[in-house]
């Protein structure tokens, strides 16, 4: 497990969320569901706790701020779960930051991007991700937490 020598426990999982995810529960519920981002955060915290893990949960509409969070996770986290939202289809900067992490990364999408508009069918983030969970709505975040917990357990 990724550990800081000054700590005896595993570093937190960084769960990062891209643009417009702050509008979950209100924006296009037929696509993204009715669960709010605050509810997803609470669900993820509980799921991580069930594995003996903690989370750092963040959302930003700004690409550079997401890059900053990824760089912070590099030394302060044990893994990253990221829903890059629209930046998944456009951001080489986020991909570069993910590739510099040397941590497990699980990409999450609430919807199945391969069943959506053609411009959403490609994700740059996927190239740097350890794994991808998509099309499961808010439950996808929980499956990603489970996957990270299993990956971290294997590394011990």
Q: Which of 51, 37, 60, 38 is nearest to 110 (CA)?
A: 37
Catalytic-residue membership of 69: no
* Active-site residue (options: 14, 69, 87, 109): 109
In the numeric block, which tokens belong to residue 90?
């456009």
Torsion of CA 27, 58, 15, 135, to 10 degrees: 10
Catalytic choice (14, 32, 87, 124) = 32
> Which of 68, 55, 35 is closest to 106 using CA atoms?
55
> Is 109 tagged catalytic?
yes
CB of 110 within 8 A of CB of 84? no
Phi, psi of 71 (to 5 degrees): -65, -35
The catalytic site residues sit at 32, 109
């Amino acid at each position: 497990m990724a550990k800081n020598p000054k700590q005896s426990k595993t570093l937190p999982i960084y769960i990062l969320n891209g643009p417009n995810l702050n509008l979950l529960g209100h924006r296009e519920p037929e696509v993204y569901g009715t669960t709010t981002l605050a509810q997803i955060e609470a669900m993820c915290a509980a799921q991580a706790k069930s594995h003996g893990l903690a989370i750092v949960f963040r959302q930003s509409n700004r690409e550079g701020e997401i890059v900053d969070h990824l760089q912070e996770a590099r030394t302060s986290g044990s893994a990253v779960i990221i829903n890059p939202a629209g930046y998944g289809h456009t951001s080489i900067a986020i991909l570069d930051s993910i590739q510099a992490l040397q941590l497990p990364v699980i990409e999450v999408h609430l919807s199945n991007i391969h069943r959506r508009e053609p411009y959403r069918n490609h994700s740059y983030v996927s190239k740097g991700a350890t794994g991808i969970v998509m099309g499961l709505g808010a439950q996808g975040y929980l499956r990603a937490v489970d996957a990270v917990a299993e990956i971290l357990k294997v590394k011990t």
